[in-house]
Chain A
Amino acid sequence: IAGITQAPTSQILAAGRRMTLRCTQDMRHNAMYWYRQDLGLGLRLIHYSNTAGTTGKGEVPDGYSVSRANTDDFPLTLASAVPSQTSVYFCASSAAFQGANYGYTFGSGTRLTVV
């Protein structure tokens, strides 16, 4: 089934530890995104990639890094986790081009708790 796969589904992480959230899509979408969703704050963009080899910062990038070595994979790394990074993380992709308007396809999310 075409779509986005995120792993892990959930994780409890000790503060200060490093962690990578994985995201893989099989739709050959060129653009990919990482959002975090918090109660009362909605979905906020962390980082994005318009195409393989390029990345950009979103609204809340501090403490996170991404890479886009190929079209399918877009991992999100927390270098040293802090409790404020407790959230649900969603990866999304779109077949986006300049001037085109396409919606996103979302993964099922990773629920991360930093203690």
Chain B
Amino acid sequence: EDQVTQSPEALRLQEGESSSLNCSYTVSGLRGLFWYRQDPGKGPEFLFTLYSAGEEKEKERLKATLTKKESFLHITAPKPEDSATYLCAVRGAAGNKLTFGGGTRVLVKP
């Protein structure tokens, strides 16, 4: 059974204070690790897909990295608009379904 654990559950940052979110996973035959952003009252919004260890992807102040057991989402010099819940998910070898972690709630204070 695929499992995803995210830490910390919540993160309070000052504007400009860089930090990292962790996503640890166990999966049979990783076919993709996904990062999503979710704003209150809305559905998750796709950010990145990582496929293999060593891969990195960037978008504005966000950078996602992947190892064989975990992924990190680095937030560099965050702004208040980066406040959201960040979700990690994996797709294993069995089908197209995604297994999600519990998310990390990020609050960036000005």
Contacts and interface: CB of A to CB of B under 8 A. Distances in A.
Contacts of A42: 87, 100-103
Interface in A84-110: 90, 92, 94, 96, 99, 101-109
A93 to B, nearest CB: 10
Given A40-B102, A101-B32, A45 B97 contact: yes
Contacts of B43: 4, 90, 92, 106-109
A58 B97 contact: yes
Contacts of A102: 49
A99 B42 CA distance: 29
Interface string A55-67: 0101000000000
Nearest to A105: B46
A31 B91 CA distance: 14
Contacts of B36: 103, 106
A106 B51 CA distance: 21
B95 interface: yes
Interface residues of A, number: 28
A94 B42 contact: no
B97 A101 contact: no
A74 interface: no
A97 to B, nearest CB: 8
A89 B36 CA distance: 17
Nearest to B9: A40
B29 to A, nearest CB: 11
Given A43-B44, A50-B96, 6 more contacts: A35-B100, A48-B95, A48-B97, A94-B96, A103-B36, A103-B46
9 contacts: A33-B97, A42-B100, A43-B87, A90-B43, A96-B96, A103-B34, A104-B34, A107-B43, A109-B43
Interface of B: 31-32, 34, 36, 41-46, 49, 51, 87, 89, 91, 95-103
